Structure 1
Amino acid sequence: MKVAHHIAVLLSTAGPNPHPDQVAASGQAANQVAEPNSTAADIAASLGTTGILLLLLMATFFMYVVSLSLHPNAKCNRCKGAGRHHGGIFSYAQRPCSSCKGRGVHPRIGRRILFKSS
């Protein structure tokens, strides 16, 4: 707290108090003004359950979008990421995977939905 505020509080409480309710109210107001830092519990109480849930959903969505930008592709399930299929009878014979066209990866579903290129 500032020194001027300390002096003002000392001067206001030093003399006899004809109206204790007004001084108590002014002291509470001074304490509320002097303490601008609020705790996480105060913020959570002001947001409420719905606000906290909405904040968590937005944070989760933001983290998912960051994950999509860092890792846009997933391994192909059909060829297990190899990009090639081996023959059933002649196992030495290979062909490119028809699902991923030989790349071994697919774009993730979120990438296809959120980052469509027209």
Structure 2
Amino acid sequence: MSLAHHFVAVLSSTAGPNPQPDHVSASGQAANQAAETNSTAADIASSLGTTGVMLLLLMATFFLYVVSLSLHPNAKCQRCKGAGRHHGGLFSYAQRPCNSCKGRGVHPRIGRRILFKSP
């Protein structure tokens, strides 16, 4: 606590006459308690400990990954490089649909297949 808080605590604990009504002093005490209960990120991190902070970071990372999956559910097909078609080896003008992605050029991402059970 700061020096000002110590002075307020000492002055409020003395048994002198109170010139303010009860509702004014009660609101002042509530404001002092609210000011004391505000904590910084360092206070929260120290109360959680290293394991708690690591769990919090892992949960935040997982949440961001799920958001990324919902915004970008597909990845480019690696076999056809996203074209959806294969060119012939002997006759390069010949084309066929990619067997891996069935001509779409994209695959569902691994996280999408695991978490959302998409085909």
- What is the TM-score of this pair, normalised by structure 1? 0.73
One-letter code aligned to 1:81: G
Change in CA separation of 1:85 and 1:33 when aligned onto 2, cut-off 3 Å: closer
Query: CA–CA distance in 1 between the matches of 2:14 and 2:34?
Result: 18
Change in CA separation of 1:7 and 1:99 when aligned onto 2, cut-off 3 Å: closer
One-letter code aligned to 1:74: A
Local SS of the residue matching 1:69: helix
Which residue in the other structure is 1:59 paired with? 60
One-letter code aligned to 2:40: T
Which residue in the other structure is 1:37 paired with? 38
Alpha-carbon shift at residue 10 of structure 1 (Å):
2.4
Query: CA–CA distance in 2 between the matches of 1:50 and 1:7?
Result: 38
Which residue in the other structure is 1:104 paired with? 105
Q: Alignment identity in percent?
A: 87
| Structure 1 residue ranges without an equivalent (≥5) | 1-5, 16-30
One-letter code aligned to 2:100: S
Q: Per-residue CA shift, 1:43-86, capped at 9, x if unaligned?
A: 01100000000000000000000000000000000000000000
Q: Segments of 4+ in structure 1 off by > 4 A? A: 6-9, 31-34
- What is the TM-score of this pair, normalised by structure 2? 0.73
Query: CA–CA distance in 2 between the matches of 1:91 and 1:111?
Result: 35
2:73 paired with 1:72:
yes
User: Between Structure 1 and Structure 2, how many residues are aligned?
Assistant: 98
